[in-house]
Structure 1
Amino acid sequence: MKTSIIPIFIPHIGCPYRCVFCNQWRITGHQGVPRAASVAAQIARYTEGVQEQRHWEVAFYGGSFTAIPAALQEELLAPAKEALDQGRIAAIRCSTRPDCITPETLQRLSQYGLTIVELGVQSMDAVVLNKAKRGHSADDVVRATCLLRSAGFTVGHQLMPGLPGEDRASLVRTTAAICRLKPDLARIYPVAVIDGTELAESYKQGDYRPLSIHEGVQRAAYMKQRFLETGIPVIRTGLQATCDLDDPSQVLGGAYTPAMGELVDTKRYQKQLFSVLDTVADQVMAIACNRHDISRTRGYHKVTVKRAALRYKRSFTWQEDNGLPEGTIAVRTANREYHIETSAGTVQCKNTEG
């Protein structure tokens, strides 16, 4: 069944700090404080008249939901809980800060039927967190994750590669720390420099060099691959496109592109495919994949097809084979077949003679 999100944006509400990268009004395209009536109206707008069955989830995005006053939390949750009890939606989720999780807060969320909490982790490096003015520590992430898990919540982590102070070693350490915590899901948002933020001023003054799109793709691909190999689903890579984010006067630099997710998967698949092609002694007859993996395997705008032809001085036959599981690339020679399990990062080889 298809999962569909009903977004309720609460930009900057409850945030005790203003992070250097943050301008939630630009990121979400929403301003103002929602009330119970607007939550009820949003649920009705999304669900009424839809014929096909869907797994509807109400999601409170944009701010630090558990940091806003308890009375406002309950007001906003009440219409969502009513819709949940009536069977019109299937789940309720929210995003919040790691230092705004307490047993009392979790009891309230549970009472209103909320089961999924995503933490704005961003980094597990103390230097990076300090430069970003996050106001929380890596230890807060560990503590909040443990509290959520012990209370039976589904736990999500949101990461932001490319913040000031991050280098390759920092990225690797953060990735390893998240893999050890093993949240139930993750999102990866390479940094975009958004006008109206402190980071934008640092960029204009030459004090901060943002990631290029290419660098953002490389870092996000590294994180996503490690997460998948650890069994952590990555449900989004890159910011959701909005009119503001697509306006070059609002996004001044950094690793923002509406195609970030496609580019990251292209990078992951291409790296694994080329690592096999580099070592196969037999002449490769074909490269095959399930139809759902065609764009990832052949690459965004067929960039992998083009690079393979240049790298190996020949054109390969690219096949659709729906007998292959999703996420598997088959490299076929006259006598052998190599199966690349892209999420696991493993390769299996079998003889095909006779």
Structure 2
Amino acid sequence: MLKIKRHIVIPVFVPHKGCPFDCIYCNQKTISGQSGETSEAEIRKTIEEHLNTVGDAFVEIGFYGGSFTGISQEEQKWYLEIGCSYIKAGRVKQLRLSTRPDYINTGILDFLSAYQVRTIELGAQSLDEQVLNNSNRGHNIDAVVQASRLIKDRGFSLGIQTMLGLPGDTRQKALETAEKVVKIAPEIVRIYPTLVIRDTFLEKLYLAGKYTPLGLEEAVDISAELLEMYEQNNINVVRIGLQPTESISREGEVIAGPFHPAFRQLVQSRLMRNRLEQFFREKNLSDLKEVVIQCKSKNISNIIGQKRENLQKLMTDFNISSIKVIVNDNINEFNVKY
């Protein structure tokens, strides 16, 4: 059987100066851990440290942090030439970057294409006009749609970054945003529950009692619905929740919001429980002494849930005395015997 290589993205964070907007949730110095100018030596040190651990993998360099195409073309070229030097040496396959949807046009795409950029991620955050306005995004839905079309038409892979729980957002609006993203049909999606970060306008709203962040349970529940939607439409969800870093894990930097170091695992576990509950309802599984769930080894923790909460809930809701989980790597997702 053909073994699929791991896909590794080496992150290089660009100082947050490519964006003149002050989105109310944004403090990129905290989120990225990047607070000032970075030297070429520092960038190469970061890349080399990752390359020493990747082994036989498909490797990209990703430029994140600010709005990459918002910095001067001279500075973009400086970063891209560093990245391209690793492509020429055969150590990296291609480059990717993140930017704003209103910082994309045909000239920019021509420039990026010449420097081996193959994936462009757009920080859309929401596809609801009210939520975009409330968040001071500085662009509308049409900017996301138009930029996405240009990117795809020019042969780039498209990524869409979205957020949950921004001011004015609701569960229904989050689902509607996901439906619109599905119509855009990006190759990848990121889902970020909104966190209240120190030194942002959102922190001021929160402290004034004018903004209430999502609770962890609600954020997990909504994210599981979105993950289900994207998976059904063959869209790869590459990130759910901010990755813990020294900055955002530090006490006091995250003021409020559904931050959890294993947020994605919580979401995947919730999605698996949702699927099992649906299966139990469809098969009228209740009032049983024992149920045995077979699953692939990679799914076992998601089926059991943290502190066995998935199994406990299934037993309680369906009046089942015992649920056992055993590994069977010869099945698809799970198989239930009763």
Give the Cα–Cα distance (whole angstroms) in 1 for the partners of residues 265 and 182 of structure 2: 23
Look up the SS of the partner of 1:315 in the other structure: strand
Which structure features the higher share of helix residues? Answer: 2
Look up the SS of the partner of 1:8 in the other structure: strand
- For structure 2, the 5+ residue unaligned runs are none
Is 2:31 aligned against 1:46? no
Moved more, 263-272 or 35-44: 35-44
- For structure 1, the 5+ residue unaligned runs are 334-354
Q: Which amino acid aligns with 1:5?
A: V
The equivalent residue for 2:212 is 209
Give the Cα–Cα distance (whole angstroms) in 2 for the partners of residues 222 and 153 of structure 1: 28
Structure 1 ranges of 4+ moved more than 6 A: none
The equivalent residue for 1:16 is 20
Give the Cα–Cα distance (whole angstroms) in 1 for the partners of residues 323 and 47 of structure 2: 49
The equivalent residue for 2:96 is 93
Q: What is the percent sequence identity of the aligned residues?
A: 32
Give the Cα–Cα distance (whole angstroms) in 1 for the partners of residues 63 and 186 of structure 2: 19
1:47 shift after superposition: 1.8
The equivalent residue for 1:331 is 336
Give the Cα–Cα distance (whole angstroms) in 1 for the partners of residues 88 and 250 of structure 2: 41
Look up the SS of the partner of 1:133 in the other structure: coil
Per-residue Cα deviation, 1:284-305 (whole angstroms, up to 9, x for no partner): 6411110011111111232111
Per-residue Cα deviation, 1:47-102 (whole angstroms, up to 9, x for no partner): 24x48312221110111001100000001100111111211111211000000001
The equivalent residue for 1:290 is 296
TM-score normalised according to structure 1 size = 0.90
The equivalent residue for 1:108 is 111
Give the Cα–Cα distance (whole angstroms) in 2 for the partners of residues 301 and 107 of structure 1: 51
Aligned residues: 330
Q: What is the alpha-carbon root mean square deviation over aligned residues?
A: 1.5
Look up the SS of the partner of 2:196 in the other structure: strand
Is 2:11 aligned against 1:2? no
The equivalent residue for 1:312 is 318
Per-residue Cα deviation, 1:174-198 (whole angstroms, up to 9, x for no partner): 1111111110000100001001100
Look up the SS of the partner of 1:331 in the other structure: strand
Q: 1:248 to 1:38 in 2, by over 3 A?
A: closer
1:315 shift after superposition: 0.9
1:13 shift after superposition: 2.0
The equivalent residue for 1:300 is 306
Look up the SS of the partner of 2:270 in the other structure: helix
Give the Cα–Cα distance (whole angstroms) in 2 for the partners of residues 319 and 36 of structure 1: 51
The equivalent residue for 2:328 is 321
Per-residue Cα deviation, 1:127-168 (whole angstroms, up to 9, x for no partner): 000000000111011001100001110000000010000112
The equivalent residue for 2:139 is 136
Residue pair 1:35, 1:76 contacting (<8 A) in 2 also: no
Give the Cα–Cα distance (whole angstroms) in 1 for the partners of residues 98 and 147 of structure 2: 13
Which of 57, 63, 68 is residue 65 of structure 1 equivalent to? 68
Matches of residues 165-180 of structure 1 in structure 2 within 5 Å? 165-180=168-183
Look up the SS of the partner of 2:282 in the other structure: coil
